[in-house]
């Protein structure tokens, strides 16, 4: 029987991308033939970086992963998944709160669009990290250098300096 290539999307706002996100990408690339890191916009969140800036940061981080591409989108995630022909949506799980929310979303996505969801647990050291927390701590002057890639930390410091000078 011939292997049917499996395309997955890993959607998120990635504002900024964290080491936890990179952990999930690393796990996903082992599971799927093609993984699209799908950079979305969350209208309920004030963005620190533009979608284009986030795409550029992530592309730089995954440049040595040939089966990973990075794209931005601004429609319903399941519609985007159908548009790019994704078979699966990859989601990272950090804790029990994620389980409840992600389970509901997975059921809705399967019911509405027929898109399956695959969950991977993040490594223990990233179980508490999320972009919103990283962003908030950084804005208040906290050290987030161990939670995000070095290149992203450098860009984050520049962005925060720009914001202070406005």
Which is the catalytic residue, given 21, 27, 54, 135?
21
Which is the catalytic residue, given 13, 27, 54, 131?
131
Which is the catalytic residue, given 27, 54, 91, 94?
94
34 among known catalytic residues: no
CB 57 within 8 A of CB 30: no
How far apart are alpha carbons 39 and 140 in whole angstroms?
25
- Name the nearest CA neighbour of 17 among 3, 44, 43, 38: 38
Which is the catalytic residue, given 45, 63, 157, 158?
45
How far apart are alpha carbons 11 and 39 in whole angstroms?
6
45 among known catalytic residues: yes
How far apart are alpha carbons 42 and 29 in whole angstroms?
25
Q: Does residue 16 have a cis peptide bond before it, meaning omega lies within 30 degrees of 0?
A: yes
Task: List the structure tokens of 90.
Answer: 């990859």
21 among known catalytic residues: yes
- Name the nearest CA neighbour of 16 among 141, 28, 45: 45
Active site residue ranges: 21, 45, 94, 131
């Amino acid at each position: 029987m011939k292997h049917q290539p499996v395309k997955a999307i890993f959607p998120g706002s990635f504002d900024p991308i964290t080491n936890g996100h990179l952990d999930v990408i690393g796990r996903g690339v082992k599971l799927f033939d093609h993984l699209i890191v799908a950079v979305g916009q969350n209208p309920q969140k004030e963005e620190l970086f533009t979608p284009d800036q986030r795409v550029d940061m992530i592309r730089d981080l995954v440049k040595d992963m040939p089966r990973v591409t990075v794209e931005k989108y601004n429609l319903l995630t399941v519609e985007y998944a159908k548009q790019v022909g994704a078979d699966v949506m990859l989601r990272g799980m950090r804790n029990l709160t994620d389980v409840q929310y992600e389970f509901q979303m997975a059921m809705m996505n399967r019911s509405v669009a027929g898109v399956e969801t695959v969950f991977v647990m993040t490594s223990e050291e990233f179980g508490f990290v999320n972009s919103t927390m990283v962003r908030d701590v950084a804005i208040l002057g906290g050290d987030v250098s161990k939670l995000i890639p070095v290149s992203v930390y450098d860009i984050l410091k520049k962005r925060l300096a720009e914001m202070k000078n406005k």
